[in-house]
Amino acid sequence: MTETRASDPIHWTACQAVDALAVGEVSPQELVAAAFERIEAVDGAVNALPTLCRERAEAMAQEAASRAPLFGLPVAVKDLNEVAGVRCTFGSPIYADYVPDASDVTVEMLEARGGLTIAKSNTPEFGAGANTFNEVFGVTRNPWNTDLTCGGSSGGSAVALATGQAWLATGSDLGGSLRTPASFCQVVGLRPAPGTVPRSSPSQPFGTLAVEGPMGRTVEDVALMLDAMAGQHPRDPISKPPTAPSFRRAAQDGRAPRRVGYSPDLGILPVDRRVRDVTAAGARLFETLGAVVEETSPDFTGAPDCFQTLRAAGYVAGHRRHYAEQRDKLKPDVIWNIEKGMALTADDIAAAEIARAELLTRCWAFFESYDLLCCPAAIVPPFPVEQRYVDAVDGHRFDNYVDWLAICSAITLTGLPSICVPCGVTEDGLPVGLQLVGPPHGEAHLLGMAKRFEEATGLRGRTPIDPVSNG
């Protein structure tokens, strides 16, 4: 049965827009015009897309229209990704005036497959932190309540999707940078397994903590974008061919899980009661799909410290030159992370690598018995935008800007694909996302199970929304 499509293109899903593009019912130029009309109407309230590139998009529209699978669909690109001829700041004053000559691998793949870059989405400096603000463009606000944060670091992308300024957007994820804003804005974000989406990483080309991934309004939209992003690229040594002929088809045809493990906290950190209530109810929806749901998970003991060590070592590799030459332009959180890395010993790093390997073994054993692991995607609902990070939950204090993200960063260590799907809202109307973790190399299976969950929640299609101010 054909799905009913709204008259205004900003309310279309990405899949509806692509299907219309593919048969000539609408042109890329028309969708570019619709996107920029929406940007003009709402972005002043949220500051999601501070850098626009309309002339570039219009110049490339005719050629993009012939390229599958996106056929000229406008997309937003995170300001950590280089787009040829478009200002790229990385959210840092160091790069406030930087304009690259060439696009990075992620953008090159997207545009070769019909994506049309219309804007750069805001991000914290170098993607550090789960509240999207920086000294170049300022703060990005949550459209559900503009007094609150949208999360980060892919906050601009999540807000652009939620408000209808773009149909798809790129995200990147180290410790939750893609999943946290998806939870805070009621959109969908997929963190693929390392190597699924090729990326540019000059300082750590063999790294497996940071990945690029798709963000959209629905699970099938995200699957469509993964079709446009996944694949092997000569400039990414760990990239590999996609594990499915079509991730979109896998999402459409996927089955519900038979056995699901749910954990409210992975056994490693406190979780706000409101989030516990909503995610527990969400996990139980799998029972309506015929699954057995049990409160269990692999043992994640030690995962937060392990991640902190490996993250800090990576920050030295990625930012030692910035620290040495322009330390005064870095925000305190980035400086802290670099200095933490500089203080590590060889024993510290070796112990973290061993702990990670042991965690992987426990997770592989878990997925011999379970199809899916569920847990919150964020331990709190959206918080005040002026607050840099979550410093306490239920009396437990976090002493840095990273610790509260352990519900996501622990999953990062496993290398397993994970997706944040809207789960419900708190009693005061704030979005909550459920993080679904799939088996090794299991993006196709995960997308199918996530789509079944999305159908069970009835939350599909609740965006785009007009920004709401409580001031």
Q: What is the pLDDT of residues 226-249, one digit of tens each?
A: 999 999 999 999 999 999 999 999
418-425 and 431-437 as β-strands: parallel, antiparallel, unpaired?
antiparallel
- E-assigned strand segments in 156-299: 168-173, 188-191, 211-216, 259-262, 292-295
Mean pLDDT within 83-103: 98
Q: Which residue has the tokens 């309004």?
A: 217
Q: Shortest CA distance to 305 belongs to which of 223, 211, 172, 402?
A: 402
d(CA 275, CA 432): 7
Q: How many other C-beta atoms can be found within 10 angstroms of the C-beta atom of residue 463? A: 23
The DSSP output letter for 463 is: -
pLDDT at 470: 76
pLDDT band at 2 (very low <50, low <70, confident <90, very high): low
Mean pLDDT of 300-305: 97
- The mean pLDDT value for 285-311 works out to 98
Reference 210, options 194, 197, 190, 223; nearest CA is 194
pLDDT at 382: 98
> In this predicted structure, what is the pLDDT of residue 3?
67
The answer to whether 178 touches 191, Cβ cutoff 8 Å, is yes
Residues 6+ apart with CB under 8 A from 396: 269, 270
**How far apart (Å, rounded) are the C-alpha atoms in residues 205 and 378?**
28
Helices vs strands, H then E, count in the chain: 14, 17
d(CA 157, CA 65): 23
Listed by start position, the domains of the chain span 10-457
Reported as a single tens digit per residue, the pLDDT across 413-450 is 999 999 999 999 999 999 999 999 999 999 999 999 99
What is the pLDDT, as a whole number, of residue 469? 87
pLDDT, position 1: 39
- pLDDT by residue (tens digit) across 131-158? 999 999 999 999 999 999 999 999 999 9
pLDDT in tens, 165-215: 999 999 999 999 999 999 999 999 999 999 999 999 989 999 999 999 999
Helix (H/G/I), strand (E/B), else coil: 435: strand
Predicted pLDDT at 29: 98
pLDDT value of position 471: 58
* DSSP string computed for 140-189: -EETTEEEEE--SSSHHHHHHHHTTS-SEEEEEESSSTTHHHHHHHT-EE
Q: What is the pLDDT of residues 367-417, one digit of tens each?
A: 999 999 999 999 999 999 999 999 999 999 998 999 999 999 999 999 999
C-alpha distances in Å from residue 228, one per residue of 127, 147, 196, 231, 464: 23, 35, 11, 9, 23
**Does domain 10-457 match CATH 3.40.109.10?**
no
| pLDDT mean over 284-288 | 98
Residue 82 pLDDT class (50, 70, 90 cuts) = very high
Specify the residue for token string 């001829």: 85
For the chain, what percent of residues have pLDDT higher than 90?
Answer: 97
pLDDT at 15 over 80: yes
Q: Over 60: is that where the pLDDT of 294 sits?
A: yes
Residues with active-site annotation: 78, 153, 177
Confidence band (pLDDT; 50, 70, 90) for 114?
very high
Taking the C-alpha atoms of residue 411 and residue 66, their distance in angstroms, rounded to an integer, is 38
The pairing of beta strand 418-425 with beta strand 188-191: antiparallel
Q: What is the pLDDT of residue 6?
A: 79
Average pLDDT estimate for 342-355: 98
- pTM higher than 0.85, yes or no? yes
CA distances, 411 to each of 21, 51, 303, 324 (Å): 37, 32, 9, 32
